[in-house]
Structure 1
Amino acid sequence: MTADSGGASQVAIVLGTRPEIIKFAPVIKACDRRGVDCLLVHTGQHYSEDLDQVFFDQLELPTPDYNLEVGSRSHGEQTGRMLEGIEDVLDEHAPDVVLVQGDTNSTLAGALAASKSNVDVGHVEAGLRSFDRDMPEEVNRVVTDHIADYLFPPTEETRSHLERESVAGEIVTTGNTIVDSLYEYRDLAAEKSDVLSDLGLQEDDFYLLTAHRAENVDDRESFARLLEGVSRFAAQTGREVVYPIHPRAQSRLDEFDLTLPEEIRTVEPLDFLDFLRLESAAALAFTDSGGVQEETCILGTPCVTLRYSTERPETAYVGANCLAGLDPDDVVEAGSTMLGKDADWDVPFGDGRAAERILDTLAAGVEPDAAEVSP
């Protein structure tokens, strides 16, 4: 797609969190290769440089044209401030399409602002469903899908959700841009990252833990049960757990006066290459993150999900992931099931060309079927 190709001449990308930066990186670079004017709007939803600017630097992405610096607030206040700021940007620039990704408050605000400004909306990673409306992310992704003019589901499963809901926009199955990113950067992470030696770790001799979801860490009992289950499994199998701790989770540990079990070592939030290296080298990952479920599946690391539902069921279908919930006995059982599992599963998220398919679709304008390729 180019500025005079008959498709969109200016694409605005709204993002605000680490996963959005990583998953939009291939799209931003594809715009650059094709000469498409890409207006980058950062909401500032992640307000720590450890979780933010370092990812732009390592992924060699341009500095955002706008940073709204919204920061951490209640869901309503945060989304409202984003909506106001994004609307101002769109009024000034009038792009042809706004792209949002995933299910964050930045995603919802970008889609709402574009819709109210009569700008087309494209939703990257559309159609994911946990079927748990208690999750704020589930509401965000459902609303965004029903606003969007272009929907880019990563798999046929996610496409089927959209078709059942009779969304109004055009649907094009593209694969997931996380595959594009990991295929590009995993070798660089192995070459450049010193995180294993810095932390005194040996490959395949430690577990990785990520836990930050509100329903897990904002409730003392839930957080304590999660930590107990992971630490019990680590103690039984004689491996250490490395926990790059999110600021939200650290504040809750302090607030609840929870003492971490000796098997779990917290470290500061990691940059993209270091975290990618840990995901690749871990014997097993425990997580409540949808993104980590995807990433470990792609990288060949078995995963245990510390939730009762997932919007990435494909990871479980292919045998890369197991839902455990929070009961310590169930966490231990799930860990035993997944530890040592051969990574012979098929990656269900595409072939690493999702960004190209997205831009092909936008170039085709209202003719997305011509751009569609099964991932």
Structure 2
Amino acid sequence: MNPKPTCILTVVGARPQFIKAAAVARALEPAIAEKRVRHVLVHTGQHYDQNMSELFFEQLDIPRADINLGIGGGGHGRMTGAMLEQLEPLIEQHRPDWVLTYGDTNSTLAAGLAAAKLHRPVAHVEAGLRSFNRRMPEEINRVLVDHLSDRLFCPTTAAVDNLSQEGIREGVHLVGDVMYDVALFYRDRAASRSLRARFGLEVGGYFLSTCHRAENTDDPSRLRGIFAGLALAAREAPVVLPLHPRTRARMAEFGVKPDPGVHLIEPVGYLEMLDLEAHARAILTDSGGIQKEAYFYGVPCITLRTETEWVETVSAGWNTLVDAHPERIAEAIECTSETRHRPRPELYGCGDAARRIVDLLLEGKE
């Protein structure tokens, strides 16, 4: 009699999670083909815009979600509560060997809570990250899920150390960063999807920016400070800003007008974004994932926050924290040429994090 296949129920809901899930789903394919694994993919619907969700499934060859909960919008409590309500019966139905969750969103928290309350093992990809800023909803989510998890897959040694300091030492594995897996895998395909010609951008001749975190978008003074800093950057080179829907709404609400040198464009696909990142003069962002991708491609990063989960990029001299201060943004831009001459040590593994995660999930389960 063939053994019962290992059931892995993956929960995703937001753009960064689609990217990470693509790498792990690819690593699962051989075991699925051999019927050693049954993989159930649940999309909460947290990102429901075409450019924020469906496009990623298409570009990254992520298997279509088996279940889409269609939960998007609303406050943190309402969204998380609705996810909990719908995830619980799914977990009871499938009784997975692992509930696999990624990152630090409301979808992450809901998956971890629902599984733990039903006594199903939780595995957390990108465990151990800390900004040490409890005002960030993401920080609350990641801390809680780490303390609920049975397997914690850490991208860096700093993440392992953070967990140890909180007393979490069992089930902790340093696997590297699945985002690095994806960046390597899609590098050539990204070049074929370049938007640089459409926007008249020369290699190294523009700045790329993103701004989406609530701490920046929902505070009028911070949002104005960031756009004042982008205006200073635009004196040196054009600034390209793929605009998150929330940022667009807050700009309209607060009357924030971009400088003519700051070019607002619609959100772009992951592959197009990788190409824009790889050829920018520097990147100005409040996104955790983009900070790392800048490092992968050897592009200086200027982070529009007071802290980062990716402290090793700051220590290496490739990432500068500037908060929302225009003058500090301008000072950081002046240093970007010097940054490119710094050593860039391997911080995120060697591109096999997804395979290592799958091996650990199946260990003792087959």
Report TM bin, short chain. over 0.9
**Unmatched 5+ stretches in structure 1:** 367-375
Deviation at 1:200, TM superposition (A): 1.5
Over 3 Å counting, the alpha-carbon distance change for 1:7 and 1:206 in structure 2 is farther
Q: What aligned pairs does 1:299-318 form with structure 2 within 5 A after superposition?
A: 299-318=297-316
How many angstroms apart in 2 are the aligned matches of 1:5 and 1:267? 53
- TM-score scaled to structure 2, two decimals? 0.95
SS in 2 for 1:301: coil
- Does structure 2 retain, via aligned residues, the 8 Å contact 1:44–1:71? yes
Q: What aligned pairs does 1:1-375 form with structure 2 within 5 A after superposition?
A: 9-35=6-32, 36-167=37-168, 169-190=170-191, 192-235=192-235, 238-339=236-337, 341-342=339-340, 344-365=343-364
- Does structure 1 retain, via aligned residues, the 8 Å contact 2:217–2:247? yes
How many angstroms apart in 1 are the aligned matches of 2:364 and 2:86? 27
AA of the residue aligned to 1:283:
R
Deviation at 1:5, TM superposition (A): 10
- Does structure 2 retain, via aligned residues, the 8 Å contact 1:297–1:347? no
- Does structure 1 retain, via aligned residues, the 8 Å contact 2:9–2:96? yes
How many angstroms apart in 2 are the aligned matches of 1:261 and 1:75? 33
Count of paired positions: 361
Deviation at 1:6, TM superposition (A): 8.0
1:290-345 Cα shifts (integer Å, max 9, x gaps): 11101111111110000001111011112221111111111111121224532641
Over 3 Å counting, the alpha-carbon distance change for 1:194 and 1:338 in structure 2 is closer
Deviation at 1:258, TM superposition (A): 1.3
Say which is worse superposed, 315-324 or 281-290, in terms of deviation: 315-324
SS in 2 for 1:345: coil
- Does structure 1 retain, via aligned residues, the 8 Å contact 2:305–2:323? yes
- Does structure 1 retain, via aligned residues, the 8 Å contact 2:5–2:38? no
Over 3 Å counting, the alpha-carbon distance change for 1:5 and 1:274 in structure 2 is farther
SS in 1 for 2:209: strand
Over 3 Å counting, the alpha-carbon distance change for 1:322 and 1:7 in structure 2 is farther
- Does structure 1 retain, via aligned residues, the 8 Å contact 2:194–2:276? no
Identity %: 41
Over 3 Å counting, the alpha-carbon distance change for 1:8 and 1:330 in structure 2 is farther
SS in 2 for 1:37: strand
How many angstroms apart in 2 are the aligned matches of 1:138 and 1:63? 29
AA of the residue aligned to 2:206:
F
SS in 2 for 1:151: strand
**Unmatched 5+ stretches in structure 2:** none
RMSD between superposed Cα atoms in Å: 1.7
Over 3 Å counting, the alpha-carbon distance change for 1:7 and 1:306 in structure 2 is farther
Over 3 Å counting, the alpha-carbon distance change for 1:166 and 1:158 in structure 2 is same
How many angstroms apart in 2 are the aligned matches of 1:5 and 1:212? 48
How many angstroms apart in 2 are the aligned matches of 1:105 and 1:314? 26
SS in 2 for 1:122: strand
Over 3 Å counting, the alpha-carbon distance change for 1:206 and 1:171 in structure 2 is same
Deviation at 1:210, TM superposition (A): 0.2
AA of the residue aligned to 1:212:
H
SS in 1 for 2:200: coil
Deviation at 1:168, TM superposition (A): 6.4
- Does structure 1 retain, via aligned residues, the 8 Å contact 2:163–2:169? no
Deviation at 1:169, TM superposition (A): 4.3
SS in 1 for 2:132: coil
SS in 1 for 2:317: coil
